[in-house]
Structure 1
């Protein structure tokens, strides 16, 4: 009976896995097709003559690596800064006492319910008047401000840490900054891994902010993938779009595979107390 239940659970998990991986699998198959096979009817599920030429053409059709470098710089800078800023804010909310702390925390959490589209026009006007349009400074400023969800994760993690660690450090003469850097931050690797993966993925896959704030020469790979693969008649080259998109997801997958243990542990240990 137990074996039968386990078998059913495994079959359900395999079904869910196929459901989630199906779109990516179809994308990868499309990246191996010739243009004539993509337009052919009836639809060919598997290419008759698989080719890797699409990946080479996708890299050379425009400066793919250059735009990937822009995305990597923006996403990497933002991920590092927002992780450090969120960790520091989470530490303050978890371990320091100040008047109105609960109110500040409540207001911060309420901002998570604010749709991003509402802030698009004010954000653009703010950066335009400051002369920061077509620069990467907005992502630096966003990173330094932290992110509400990540602050929440760090706050929950630091709240659950033993108070004896902090008291022992104070007895040894450590101030709050040193306690944070020497004791609390090194212990929070699971949440750091979670923060890096989430923030990098948010920025790497963001299309709206780069399209709004950057011109065509300085934009990110997400924007260029949506507009760069067109022929002389303005038609989309779907085989190159598929190949470029497959390569586009590789950095996120690599980051997740490297930090997956910390990511799972961070999500599991940062729940409500």
Structure 2
């Protein structure tokens, strides 16, 4: 009975794994097909003659590495700044006392229900008034502002830390800034890893903000993948786009594999209280 139940669980997990990986598998197979196979009917799952040259064409048809550099710059700046800003705000909500702190924290959490698309046009007009369009300063400002979800994660983690650490540091003459940088932040590596992965993937995969705020030369790879792979007649070259998309997910996967242990630990420990 135990064996059959365990086997059923494994079969269910394998089935879910296949279900979740099937879109990516279809993307890889499309990236290996020739243009003629994409137009052929009936549709064949496996390419007759896998063509790895599509990946080279995806790199050379557009300035792939240049747009990838733009995406890495934006995602790197944003993820580092938003992690530090969210950690500092979370520390304040967790360890400092101030009138109306709970109300402010509740208002902060309520902003998570506000869709980004609603604030996109007003944000563009604001940045245009300050001549920040076609620069990377919007991502710097967004990073310095922190995000409600990451602030919540850091606040939950810092709330669970022993008060004796803070009291011992105060006795030694440390102020709140030094306590944060020397004691609390180094102990929060699981949440830092979680924040870096989430914020990097948000910025790396964002299409709307770069399309609205940046011109063709400074835009990101996400925008160029959607618009750059066309032939002389304006038709979309799906196999080149698929090859570019396969390579597009590599940085996020690499970051996740590097800090995955801290990511899983951060997600689990930040929700304990």
Aligned to 1:102: 102
2:188 matches 1:188: yes
- Give the gaps of 5 or more residues in structure 2: none
2:106 matches 1:114: no
Deviations 1:141-174 (A, max 9, x none): 0000000000000000000000011111111111
Aligned to 1:58: 58
> How many Å apart are 1:272 and its aligned residue?
4.9
Aligned to 1:158: 158
Inter-partner Cα distance in structure 2 for 1:113 and 1:97: 26
Deviations 1:84-134 (A, max 9, x none): 000000000000001111111011001101111110110010000000000
Inter-partner Cα distance in structure 2 for 1:82 and 1:15: 37
Aligned to 1:199: 199
Inter-partner Cα distance in structure 1 for 2:186 and 2:2: 42
Inter-partner Cα distance in structure 2 for 1:78 and 1:239: 31
What secondary structure does 1:258 align onto? helix
Aligned to 1:68: 68
Aligned to 1:42: 42
What secondary structure does 1:141 align onto? helix
Aligned to 1:208: 208
Q: What number of residue pairs does the alignment pair up?
A: 273
What secondary structure does 1:153 align onto? helix
Inter-partner Cα distance in structure 1 for 2:11 and 2:161: 39
Inter-partner Cα distance in structure 1 for 2:176 and 2:67: 41
Deviations 1:181-216 (A, max 9, x none): 111001100000000000000000000000010011
Please give the root-mean-square deviation of Cα atoms over the aligned residues, in Å: 0.6
- Give the gaps of 5 or more residues in structure 1: none
2:134 matches 1:134: yes
Deviations 1:202-261 (A, max 9, x none): 000000000010011110000000000001111000010000000000000111111111
Aligned to 2:225: 225
> How many Å apart are 1:39 and its aligned residue?
1.0
Inter-partner Cα distance in structure 1 for 2:186 and 2:22: 38
Normalised by the size of structure 2, how large is the TM-score?
Answer: 0.99
What secondary structure does 1:232 align onto? coil
Aligned to 1:78: 78
Normalised by the size of structure 1, how large is the TM-score?
Answer: 0.99
2:255 matches 1:262: no
